[in-house]
Chains A and B, each alone.
Chain A
Amino acid sequence: MEHLISPVLLYGACAIGALGVLVALPRERLTPAVFGAILLAGAFGALVLGLGFAAPDQVPNFHFYIFSLIALLASLRVISHPRPIYSALYFILTILAACGLYLILSAEFLAFALIIVYAGAILITYLFVIMLATEGPTADQVEALNEYDRVAREPVLAAGAGFIVLAALTTLLVGGSTGLKADPRLMPGDTRLAVMPQKVNDSLRAAGLIKGDEGVIHIEKERRWGITPRRDGNGTLYVADKNGLGASTRLIPQAQWPADLRLSNTEGVAFSLIDGHPGAIEIAGVILLMAMLGAVVLARKKVELDEAAKAQAQRHARLDEPDVAGVTR
């Protein structure tokens, strides 16, 4: 089959990327995260360049490169930074960059929802927990790191496994999506215009297609509005003045419709969500409720320290306050 990128370039780039990850992962002595980042960026650049060469007719969008690079490099730091707080902050950066990609993909509702929910709510929770669940720094070791944060486990094996998965995934991606082109036709959500007379009226009025008392008519017999958008572009819509059906009824073909007479992304998502997946919404609501209850129940539970932890806690107490030995925190 036809391939967008030559295998050498593809797997070379994957290998370089894996090497970059391997270099960037935290190690006992030296962690040249910057080199790793450069290697990963180079690998990604090679992949995207390969894609660009494969389809030279498509002008690359500058913002795409910026956002995707930021997202990937921030992701790299999420997994490689030895301090959990920084990892979380880099994750926020990743999300912001991903939101940029969402905007390019004209999913503005989700972009902002993501910022609010993810960067705003979930990540703040993470930060709280990180702060809650970290041992307090001792007086002489303010900058001390936990051993389990400082050293990655089996980075070589993990990078190898990651390379295999990435190579396989990209092979499937670039091999399978060659002939796929975007569908230029009316989005199915736009047929929902038929139930949105107010939006249609506003749009028509702003475009000067109707004046005065005119508006979209309601066909009583068929119990629907006189708006018939069609995916092939041959839709129609009827307008008349306030007096209703009569000599003043006019037909506006879809070709004459103003360009902005289409569903906004938010409206489309709303229709898809509420109209298309009502049951799933209910289930999601129940899941969230249960999660909330579960979190409350779990966090309220009083936990007994096990033996080793008790001994450690006592040791800490003695070190901190040698005069009052035996007093536990």
Chain B
Amino acid sequence: MTHLLSHLASVALAASPPAEGAARAAAPVLGRVVEGPWTAVLIPGLPLLAAVLVALCAAGRVRSKLPAWITVGCLAGAFAAAVQTYLAVVHQPGLAQGVRVLEWIHLSWGEKPGQSFAADFGLYLDSLTMLWMLFVTGLATLIALYASEYMAHDLGAGYNRFYFAFALFVFSMSCLVMGDNLILLYLGWEGVGLCSYLLIGYFYKKPSAVAAAKKAFIMNRIGDLGLALGIMLTFVQFGSVRYAEIFEAAAPYLTLAGEGRIGEIPLLIQLIPVLFTVGAFGKSAQLPLYVWLPDAMEGPTPVSALIHAATMVTAGVYLVARFLPLYQCSTWALPIVAWTGAGTALLAATIGMAQFDIKRIMAYSTVSQLGYMFAGLGVLTSAGAAYHVFTHAFFKATLFLGCGAVMHGFAGQLDLRKLSGVAFMKGWGIVGLAMLVGCLNLAGFPFTAGFFSKDMILAEAFASPTYQALGWVLLFTAGLTAYYTFRVFFRVFIGPKFYEPGDELHAHDDHGHGHGGAHGHGDGHGHAPAKAKATADAAHDFHPHAPGWAINVVMVLLTVGSILAAYPYLISWVPGLIDASSARVIEVAHGGEHAHGTFFGYDPHAVMYYVSAIVGAVGIIFAFVLHFVGRTGAATAKADALLPVFGPLARWAQNKWYVDEFYNFLVRVPLLVISHVLHLADKLLVDGLVDLAGFMPQAAGRGLRRQQTGALNGYAFGMVLGVGVIAAIGAVLLW
């Protein structure tokens, strides 16, 4: 074992620095597209088919698990198609492949170039696309399978709705990632936003879920505005929204940037990536638009795992990676991306340390890790960022699904003060093990996938002379991450066995189904019978039900995937893919000496493994001492004694640094004031005018009502008088 590990380490170290790997040779040919394999059409096509079929199921009031199997089947097909397409794409490295599915938008208002607008439903397949689609379709398949059991309590009610939105999400995501133009990307962008909204608000009877859905939608709108403006500016500047043509048109600027003459690039061109960044920050939950993501945990856990951890939130990373050529043409875009990412990573990590809701901790950790990815993009290791996306997708999905299994089994209980020793309970071993693997990954334990991907980013940050401070921020964050990750693990999954069921007990029993029978798990008790009284009685009778086969299989597969995700690092798989795509980092001529940052005089690429391993270990040890050693119950741990030391800091972190309240004060309060003022103006002025218009005929009618006597002759007199007046006017005019 030791031998194997040391062998792995030596291989890993030998492969470093990955940026200088062999894959450098296959430089991408931007702006050229060759015909791609038709199977690529199946990747968005099968999820769409699944969505249609599930919609038909919903129309037919299907009450079985049929929608789940349809979705799982179609998504598995899409995954197979993605693998097939991936093989075809890597067969021609550096060449983007295009598949035109159907003609979509063709406008023209003149003959000159720039006087037409074309956006087809076409696919742009390069290695970046395929990297994304591989884990999107793969994880979506697994999570759909997981959800088939997880959502079983909603069979016949929301089950169809869930799978419809789920399949539609995968379709939208593939449009986003595979589209060959910005309009299709925008369609997918909005589509995933819509599906996210639908799924966050899945439990629409819960006010908090509705509020969270609205919050996510509105926050995303702000970002989407930036993206939309960016797309418009792109069209204005480059005359096209198709990637190939944009890259072709941007090639001269890229050359300028490569020669270090970035100042000569027009400002409007430099503005485009900044606008894109706004969109990316909205979708990927970065400062200052991150606040929707923690609240999005109101959705079902599989949704949190797929959409709000693994795939959708990485759309921003994809956008930046896809347009990295443009970003490299901008003076400010990459520093903005880097520093915002690092700031978000640190802030979210500090908040995550102080939360008690394990799903929320995972949410903040997602925000934090997304910050890592952006920081990676900002310091120009797109390969590191993409690899981190890849590994993060696996281990974060594992963590979320583990939390989901806990939530599912303990009637919605997520408070780490009310659960302990879960891994040792009967039937929970697999979940506990999976959580351990996930936590090790997230904490950056040596030789895990998360360790390698995080190191790529850290090393590149320290390697860049201008981003030394950023490297320290990220390193500190890595320590915090290790601490709060294992805080969850030590408190919930090991230690003395204790549990207190959540408040979803009644809700579950109201659905009138037995979990025991449905899942067939070992203890044979099923749910406690519903009692009118809340937790005390219910807790007494409550028996947690361990996950069934679907959850366990998926957990195992994801755990294996999380472990195996480390392997691509050893063969520099991701850097190869990235360098063959538009996300390749160009070499900037620095005119003479090539400034290279160091870590206390060492090459960061060489020493960062040890440094980050030590930092991660310190975080884990802190967590071990504070949350495991000597803990006898679930509610308290030694860490509580430290609270007075940190004083207000801890309280602030627990209250998420009052960011929500600050936004409330900054945006909602002024809006409320303005709307009240406008409401008053509307009431008094506009309504007043309308009322006046209504009042005048009313008053006239009140006066004229007396003329309506009911006598025919009176009406005749009125008519005659009218005729007489008209005739008299005619006569006077004629006179």
Contacts and interface: CB of A to CB of B under 8 A. Distances in A.
A and B touch in the complex (CB under 8 A): yes
B717 A158 contact: yes
Interface residues of B, number: 14
B735 A164 contact: no
A161 B727 CA distance: 12
A161 B720 contact: yes
Nearest to A152: B713
Interface string B582-598: 00000000000000000
B713 A154 contact: yes
A292 interface: no
B107 interface: no
Contact of A175 (B711, B724, B735): B735
Interface of B: 711, 713, 717, 720-721, 723-725, 727-728, 730-731, 734-735
A168 B730 contact: yes
Q: How large is the interface on A (under 10, 10 to 19, 20 to 34, 35 or more residues)?
A: 10 to 19
A150 B727 CA distance: 32
A325 interface: no
Contacts of B711: 153
A30 interface: no
A162 B711 CA distance: 19
Contacts of A172: 727, 730-731, 734
A252 interface: no
17 contacts: A1-B735, A154-B713, A154-B717, A157-B717, A158-B713, A158-B717, A158-B720, A161-B724, A164-B724, A165-B723, A165-B724, A165-B727, A167-B728, A168-B731, A172-B727, A172-B730, A175-B734
B709 to A, nearest CB: 11
Contacts, number: 43
Interface string A229-248: 00000000000000000000
A175 B730 CA distance: 11
A158 B721 CA distance: 9
A165 B728 CA distance: 7
A1 B720 contact: no
A171 interface: yes
Interface of A: 1, 153-154, 157-158, 161-162, 164-165, 167-169, 171-172, 175-176
Nearest to B712: A153
Contact of B727 (A157, A158, A169, A176): A169
Contacts of B727: 164-165, 168-169, 172
Contacts of A153: 711, 713
A138 B504 CA distance: 93
The 8 closest A-B pairs by CB, nearest first: A168-B727, A171-B731, A164-B724, A165-B724, A168-B728, A168-B731, A161-B720, A175-B734
Contacts of B730: 168, 172
A69 B711 CA distance: 33
Contacts of A157: 717
A168 B721 CA distance: 12
Given A168-B728, A171-B731, A175-B735, 15 more contacts: A1-B734, A1-B735, A157-B717, A158-B717, A162-B720, A164-B721, A164-B725, A164-B727, A165-B724, A168-B727, A168-B730, A172-B727, A172-B731, A172-B734, A175-B731
Contacts of A1: 734-735
B722 to A, nearest CB: 10
A39 to B, nearest CB: 21
Contacts of B724: 161, 164-165, 168
A176 B731 CA distance: 10
B728 A164 contact: yes
A154 B716 CA distance: 12
A45 B144 CA distance: 104
Nearest to A153: B713
A164 B723 CA distance: 9
A152 to B, nearest CB: 10
A168 B724 CA distance: 7
Nearest to A158: B717
B726 to A, nearest CB: 8
B734 A161 contact: no
B729 to A, nearest CB: 8
Contacts of A176: 734
